[in-house]
Amino acid sequence: MKAYLTRRYMFSASHRLHSGAMPDEENAVIYGKCNNPYGHGHNYAIEVTVSGPVDESTGMVCNLADLDGFVRHAVLDRFDRQNLNMLAEFAAMVPTTEALSAVIYDILQRGFSHAHLEKVRIEETMMNSFEYAGGAEMRR
């Protein structure tokens, strides 16, 4: 039987929203406070949803130790306490949380093989969240 498992992780990072493709005044208008040149930070909460048949011998979609290990190594160790603008992924991309969701989705999609990746959801603050499921329709 197919089930969907969601695991939530936290990391803290800073960023600045600024696009080299726009003049400074336009950046200031579009990004507002988020364009402050020194950057600012958030406590990000990531929810990773994976799916698959529940293995009868373990009762699991995938072993949580495998998912936790992968996310710790491939995401948290790389993003936690960092300035997102300095990371290779954001060399040519504004580190909005929209972009961050897609970046983290792609990392999992490429590297995590123990279950099917459904979606990545990120809360930037308690007031806003973003979801990315690649090209797939999102299960509600």
Partner 1 sequence: MVYLTRKAEFAASHYYHNPEFTAEENRRVFGKCNNPNGHGHNYTLEVTVKGEVDPRSGFVVDLRQLKEVLNREVLDAMDHRFLNKEVPEFYTRIPTTENLAITIWQRLVSKLPKAKLHRVRVYETPDLFVDFYGEA
Give me the residues that bind partner 1 (CB under 8 A), please: 1-9, 54, 57-61, 63-65, 139
Q: By C-beta, is 36 or 43 nearer to partner 1?
A: 43
Q: By C-beta, is 1 or 92 nearer to partner 1?
A: 1
Alpha helices in the chain (DSSP H): 24-31, 64-71, 77-79, 97-111
Supply the minimum distance, in Å, between the C-beta of residue 81 and partner 1: 19
User: Residue 7 corresponds to which tokens in the numbers above?
Assistant: 């695991």
Supply the minimum distance, in Å, between the C-beta of residue 60 and partner 1: 6
Q: Do residues 10 and 42 lie in contact, with contact meaning Cβ atoms separated by under 8 Å?
A: no
Supply the minimum distance, in Å, between the C-beta of residue 23 and partner 1: 43
d(CA 9, CA 72): 9
User: SS3 of 52, please?
Assistant: strand
Q: By C-beta, is 20 or 59 nearer to partner 1?
A: 59
